[in-house]
Amino acid sequence: MITVIDVGNTNITIGVMQDEEILASFRLMTSQRRTSDEFVAAFYGLFQTKGIQHKEVEGVVISSVVPKVMHSLRNSIYKFFDLEPIIVGAGIKTGIQIKRENPRSVGADRIVDLVAGHHLYGGPLIIIDFGTATTYDYLSADGEFEFGLTSPGLETSAVALWSKAAQLPEIEIKKPMSIRCKNTITSMQGGLVFGYIGQTEYIIKKIKEEVGEAKVIATGGLGRIIFNETEMIDAYDPNLSFKGMKVIYDKNKGETKYN
């Protein structure tokens, strides 16, 4: 049994996996001021609610795009699990090649998605992660991460809209019944969701014009909203990052030193 931890800009998602099965998952708000003891207390409570014995955890993998969290989080892993975590980053075996100008600048979140995509679907692939930022990454049939695009996430766009316009309210992000929106809330929902569907489909189309056909896989918290409204995404997998970290664990377990 292993624990996989995905530290994003908005949330920290935690998965407990037995082989390929996800036994439980948890979500914490990302806080850069949380101490290692606070992490330990959170882990203890979360594991207790699911009846999971943390002493049975044999390994921990962390993917993080928030460096300021890592000191406390890593120390909490030592305290709670008594384990050295595998940190996704330079020097870790992944099974993919990063063909970018600066490979070290590629976020761990993108790496774990690409690793999972390559392991589960082969290639070529377009992997779209609908998170705080939305990323569109292309992986070749040979497992090479050739290029990617980054845009503001759906929720990030929504927050920018109501925080910058004094008379616009906070809204639930969902597709309205019709594009013929007749009030402020549905007009905002329509602009956000229909606009984001358009962005997604256009970027997929432009990538395929340059590289040819590719399977399109979506992930991320709000990815299901877009997946349900377009035929250009082949599959939606909300646990893609967990699966990628499991693959990385299998490739690196037994190593004596990690990042």
The predicted model gives 158-185 an average pLDDT of: 92
The predicted model gives 97-121 an average pLDDT of: 90
How far is Cα 193 from Cα 207, in angstroms, rounded to an integer? 21
6 is known as an active-site residue: no
Which of 69, 7, 70 has the alpha carbon at shortest distance from 32?
Answer: 69
Residue 32 confidence (pLDDT) above 80: no
Confidence of residue 237 (pLDDT cuts 50, 70, 90): very high
The catalytic position among 109, 129, 137, 237 is 109
Report the amino acid identity of residue 85: P
> For 180-226, how does the pLDDT look when each residue is reduced to its tens digit (9 = 90+)?
999 999 999 999 999 999 999 999 999 999 999 999 999 998 899 99
Which of 3, 86, 109, 1 has the alpha carbon at shortest distance from 46?
Answer: 3
Question: Which comes out higher in pLDDT, residue 10 or 254?
Answer: 10
Is 74 within 8 Å of 50 (Cβ atoms)?
no
Confidence of residue 240 (pLDDT cuts 50, 70, 90): very high
Determine the pLDDT at residue 256: 53
Strand order of the sheet with strand 133-139? 97-98, 144-152, 133-139, 125-130, 215-219, 235-236
| C-alpha distances in Å from residue 61, one per residue of 34, 57, 105, 123, 240 | 19, 11, 19, 25, 14
DSSP-derived 3-state class of residue 36? helix
Determine the pLDDT at residue 143: 92
Number of H helices, E strands in the chain: 7, 11
Determine the pLDDT at residue 33: 85
> For 82-94, how does the pLDDT look when each residue is reduced to its tens digit (9 = 90+)?
999 999 987 889 9
How far is Cα 50 from Cα 132, in angstroms, rounded to an integer? 28
- Both tokens of 158, joined, read 């929504």
Is 204 within 8 Å of 109 (Cβ atoms)?
no
How far is Cα 131 from Cα 86, in angstroms, rounded to an integer? 23
Q: Quick check: bond before 176 cis, omega within 30?
A: no
How far is Cα 23 from Cα 137, in angstroms, rounded to an integer? 28
The predicted model gives 228-240 an average pLDDT of: 95
